[in-house]
């Protein structure tokens, strides 16, 4: 059973990839994150994701870095708190693109690493995914069964960079306060 896994960053992908493979999925990674700013941070996270794909031996599809579209969709929400309506729009944008890419590649299922983060609302992410993909979206809360802890251990073992903010310019500013 093939599944397209939206990857927010390589570190998060590690434990999620291993769990999906254990469940019997043939996993293809999809890095699509136009929310990540600045561009240097985007490149850094993409490179770590490429390294994780190599280590864990999975194919990686790289989406377009269409940050202008992300800014357009979230315009006026820059001061929303982390976890607010800006985040819901961002989750929806990335999950919609993952659903489209899965369809384009003839992959029947899709899901996301976003739920591995202890800072993300898995119920909201899964709700958005189900609204977009109904029977094709695989609901999971990957932070369960120590998913976030396993991802951090993987990062330490491989000496990988771990970011200290979600990725968007607004989350970067709020984290620096």
Alpha-carbon span 165 to 12, nearest angstrom:
13
Domain ranges of the chain: 2-175
Q: Report the pLDDT value the prediction gives residue 133, as an integer from 0 to 100.
A: 83
Alpha-carbon span 48 to 113, nearest angstrom:
15
**CATH 3.30.70.1280 describes domain 2-175:** no
The pLDDT tens digits of the residues spanning 51-70 come to 999 999 999 999 999 999 99
Residue 151 has pLDDT above 70, yes or no: yes
Q: Report the pLDDT value the prediction gives residue 82, as an integer from 0 to 100.
A: 83
SS3 111: strand
Average pLDDT, the chain: 92
Tell me the DSSP string of 26-67: EEEEEE--TT--SHHHHHHHHHHHHHHHHHHT--EEE----H
The pLDDT tens digits of the residues spanning 153-174 come to 999 999 897 877 677 877 766 5
């Amino acid at each position: 059973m093939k599944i397209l896994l939206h990857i927010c960053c390589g570190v998060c992908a590690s434990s999620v990839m291993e769990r999906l493979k254990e469940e019997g999925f043939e996993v293809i990674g999809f890095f699509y994150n136009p929310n990540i700013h600045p561009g240097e941070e985007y490149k850094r996270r993409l490179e770590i994701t490429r390294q994780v794909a190599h280590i864990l031996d999975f194919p990686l599809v790289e989406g377009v870095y269409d940050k202008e579209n992300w800014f357009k969709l979230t315009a006026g929400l820059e001061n929303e708190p982390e976890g607010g309506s800006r985040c819901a729009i961002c989750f929806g944008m990335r999950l919609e693109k993952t659903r489209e890419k899965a369809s384009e590649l003839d992959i029947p299922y899709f899901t996301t690493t976003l739920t591995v983060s202890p800072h993300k609302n898995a119920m909201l992410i899964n709700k958005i995914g189900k609204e977009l993909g109904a029977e094709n979206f695989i609901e999971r809360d990957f932070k369960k069964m120590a998913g976030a802890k396993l991802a951090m251990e993987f990062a330490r073992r491989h000496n990988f960079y771990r970011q200290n903010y979600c990725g968007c310019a607004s989350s970067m500013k709020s984290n620096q306060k």
